[in-house]
Amino acid sequence: MSLGRALLIPGLIAVLAAPQIAFALSLQEAIALAQRANPILAQAKARTDAAEARLAQARAGRLPGLTLFGEAGQGTTDLGGFFGFGHADVSPRAANLELRQPLFSGGAVSAAIERARQGRDAALAQAGGAKALLAAQAAEAYVAVLAAREILALNEAQVRQMGEMARQAQLQFNGGEISRTDLAQTQARLAEARAALARASGDVARTGAHFVTVVGMEPDNLESLPAPPELPRSLDEAMATALQTSPALVAAQAQARAADAGVRYAKAERLPTLALSATASSARDQFFPGYRADGVSFGVQGRWTLFTGGLVSGRIDEARAGARGAGFGVDSAKAQVREAVVGAWEDVQTSRVLVEAAADQETAAASALDSVRNEVRVGQRPTVDLLDAERETLSAQSAGVAARGGAVAAAYRLRALLHGD
């Protein structure tokens, strides 16, 4: 975590704890809050910590070990006159201190360290991928709330507009200026607008609940929709980045390297091991009363297993099969990343086109509505045409809101495939 982010979060929490202060939550702050206490990220962090611990264990195989053994007791012995000893009370005691430094393990220690290191790298990549995915989910939740609220406001305005039109239509019908059909059509559109308002209100509640699930707080005061994050300039550039930094692919590659190291570790069981040993020992009353022995020894210990009945061969075959499977996993991850990047890239491009098209549609619908409103006012067109124009304008405005939010969400989904941050 960067220093800026580390300082941001405590300050953000402090401000949130003071409800009397008006606070507008930005998208980046929402992402930081989502990543702060998310259980999935906590699980990923725990797996990373466990991988770090396994690496520390593997590295310990190169270091000396110091072992202290001791025992003490109380009893009696009767040697029946041998060595001149009969019945006697004894307090047998012994202590042994051994220092052992591995010298050669057939490559087992190096392979274990490499396997643990690659496992740690895989865990880090997976944690980064989970963090990037959560950022995309937080962005989607953020823009969904903004879009739902804006669409709700549009529908509220539509209901007010339709309500006024229905009131005017009732007055015109009472004065004999319009037919019952025109009145019924106006009232039907008012009912339709009220139904749309109810759906929009439900969307606000649903998106707010999802925001709380993802971010961990109510979306009471959000900043306006931000611009999409910076992205690669071409699909080729995005693909090249993904094949280098995609969390899923980086994790698969690390797991494949760990599996290769596992093969080397299994093969090392066929080779001898050597260690330097230094021992200091002390014994009292061990064999007869008054027995005393102290000693110090230095030497080299060796061990070579010559026959295991196929146990080692089986472990090697198992490790090789795991390595082949991990290699196929890399191929599969590459194919999935390519497919996902192409899909996400096309979503980004489509969203940009939709934003432009929606803007044109909004402009055209607003212009058409103004023209129809004037034509209805002078009696050149029926009221139903104005109702249709109002509906089309609302549809265009809602599509524009959805398109702008979709562009931001699509950009964050693509980023999640390219970077583990």
Share of the chain above pLDDT 90, in %: 63
Count of beta carbons in the 10 Å neighbourhood of residue 348: 23
Answer yes or no: is pLDDT of 20 > 60: no
CA dist 130 and 125 (Å) reads 9
CA separation for the pair 225, 147 (Å, rounded): 9
Q: Provide the β-strand partners of residue 69.
A: 96
- Which is higher by pLDDT, 78 or 354? 354
CATH number at residue 231: 1.20.1600.10
Can you give the pLDDT at residue 420? 65
pLDDT at 53 (0 to 100): 96
Q: Please say if the pLDDT value at position 26 is more than 80.
A: yes
Task: Give the least confident one: 1-15, 69-83, 189-203, 393-407.
Answer: 1-15
Comparing 89-93, 230-234, 337-341, the range with the smallest average pLDDT is 89-93
78 in any annotated domain: no
Whole-angstrom Cα distance, residue 261 to residue 116? Answer: 9
Return the pLDDT at 253.
96
Above 90 in pLDDT, residue 254? yes
Backbone angles phi, psi at 65, to 5 degrees: -120, 140
User: β-strands 273-284, 93-104: how paired?
Assistant: antiparallel
- What is the rounded CA–CA span in Å between residue 387 and residue 399? 18
Does residue 79 sit within a domain? no
**Local structure of 213: helix, strand or coil:** helix
What is the distance between the alpha carbons of residues 160 and 154, in angstroms, rounded to a whole number?
Answer: 10
Host domain of residue 316: 3-71+88-418
Whether pLDDT at 32 is above 70: yes
Give 184-231 as a DSSP string. Answer: HHHHHHHHHHHHHHHHHHHHHHHHHHHHHHHHSS--SSBPPPPPPPP-
Residue 398 lies in a domain: yes
Residue 78 has pLDDT above 80, yes or no: no
Domain count, the chain: 1
How sure is the predictor about 8, in pLDDT bands with cuts at 50, 70 and 90? very low
Determine, yes or no, domain membership for 8: yes
Indicate the range of 230-244, 269-283, 365-379 predicted with least confidence. Answer: 365-379
Rounded to an integer, the average pLDDT of 374-382 is 79
According to the model, what pLDDT value does residue 84 have? Answer: 64
Rounded CA separation 413/345 (Å)? 9
Contacts of 158 (CB under 8 A, 6+ apart): 193, 196, 197, 390, 394
Residue 83 binned pLDDT confidence (cut-offs 50, 70, 90): low
- CA distances, 5 to each of 10, 28, 31, 337 (Å): 9, 10, 11, 29
CA distance 219 to 16: 12
Looking at the domain assignment, is residue 291 inside a domain? yes
Q: What is the mean pLDDT of residues 42-58?
A: 95
Looking at residue 121, its amino acid is D
Whether 119 contacts 303, CB under 8 Å:
no
Question: Angle 247-267/108-174 helices, nearest 10 degrees?
Answer: 160
Give the least confident one: 10-14, 312-316, 356-360, 364-368: 10-14
Whether 284 is in a domain gets the answer: yes
Percent of the chain with pLDDT over 70: 92
3-state SS string for 317-362: HHHHHHHHHHHHHHHHHHHHHHHHHHHHHHHHHHHHHHHHHHHHHH
Question: In angstroms, rounded to a whole number, what is the distance separating the alpha carbons of residues 118 and 116?
Answer: 5
Q: CB of 111 within 8 A of CB of 261?
A: yes
Give the residues across from 65 on adjacent strands: 100
CB 124 within 8 A of CB 48: yes
- Tens digit of each residue's pLDDT (9 = 90 or more) over 142-158: 999 999 999 999 999 98
Q: Is position 83 within any domain?
A: no
Q: Compute the radius of gyration of the chain from its Cα atoms.
A: 38
Q: What's the rounded mean pLDDT across residues 50-64? A: 95
Query: Mean pLDDT over all residues of the chain?
Result: 88
Q: Pairing state of beta strands 75-78 and 87-90?
A: antiparallel
pLDDT at 321: 96
Asked if 210 and 13 touch (Cβ cutoff 8 Å), the reply is: no
Give mean pLDDT, residues 186-213.
93
SS3 content of the chain, % helix, strand, coil (to 5): 70, 15, 20
Residue 77 within any structural domain of the chain: no
Q: pTM of the entire structure?
A: 0.79
Query: Residue 129: which pLDDT band, with cuts at 50, 70 and 90?
Result: very high
Mean pLDDT, range 364-369, rounded to an integer:
89
pLDDT value at residue 6: 43
What is the reported pLDDT for 276? 94
